[in-house]
Structure 1
Amino acid sequence: MNLTFTERQGQFLAYIHQYSLVNGCTPAEADMQRFFQITPPSVHSMVLTLERRGFIRRVAGQARSITLAIAPESLPSLLRVQPTSGQT
């Protein structure tokens, strides 16, 4: 299994980890959508990719069930997402 992730995948993994530390539970896909300012299908596609590549685990049909399957020490620093034009 290839445990290297793209820069974008690393940001999602870092977000999942940081969100969990701050909130005591893992993020919902809607939380990731708001943070990364992307569409629901894009978030869901990324979650499926992370799961397929073995970076996360989920329980089917259970909300907020994402768990990291890799060591948090291997994650990059979470970068702030810049607002798109027209947003403040």
Structure 2
Amino acid sequence: MAEPFTEKQGQYLAFIYNYSVMFDQPPAEADLQRFFGTSPSTIHQMLVTLSEKGLISRTPGKARSILLMVDPEEIPRLVRPYAARA
């Protein structure tokens, strides 16, 4: 069973969910980086954390392999990051 998630982790899950619905494939780490305006290492660490908590699953070495392990009804509404609103 997946662990509870923080507000920030919820936003990452929301982005992954919405991106997957819109484009019929999971986002790449670069897509997350552009949306959240953070560094590649920050994105990678967040994905590691989400995976360790059982919130997502990934296939090592395979691009765009993020799979949500959370019921979509538990995922919060996606809010555009403040830095990207301007």
TM-score interval for Structure 1 and Structure 2 normalised by the shorter chain: over 0.9
TM-score (norm 2): 0.93
Q: C-alpha deviations, 1:19-53, integer Å up to 9, x for none?
A: 00000100000000000000000000000000000
User: What one-letter code is carried by the residue in structure 2 that aligns with 1:54?
Assistant: G
State the Cα distance separating 1:82 from its structure 2 match.
2.2
TM-score (norm 1): 0.91
Higher helix share: 2
Contact (CA 8 Å) 2:55, 2:69: kept in 1 or not? yes
Instruction: Check if 1:45 corresponds to 2:34.
Output: no
Q: Which structure has the larger Rg over C-alpha atoms?
A: 1
Contact (CA 8 Å) 2:2, 2:70: kept in 1 or not? no
Match of 1:79 in 2: 79
User: What one-letter code is carried by the residue in structure 1 that aligns with 2:40?
Assistant: P
RMSD of Structure 2 on Structure 1 (CA) = 1.6
Match of 2:68 in 1: 68
State the Cα distance separating 1:61 from its structure 2 match.
0.5
Q: How many residues align?
A: 86
User: What one-letter code is carried by the residue in structure 1 that aligns with 2:71?
Assistant: A
Report the secondary structure of 1:44's partner residue: helix
What are the ranges of 5 or more consecutive residues in structure 2 without an aligned counterpart? none
Match of 1:59 in 2: 59
What are the ranges of 5 or more consecutive residues in structure 1 without an aligned counterpart? none
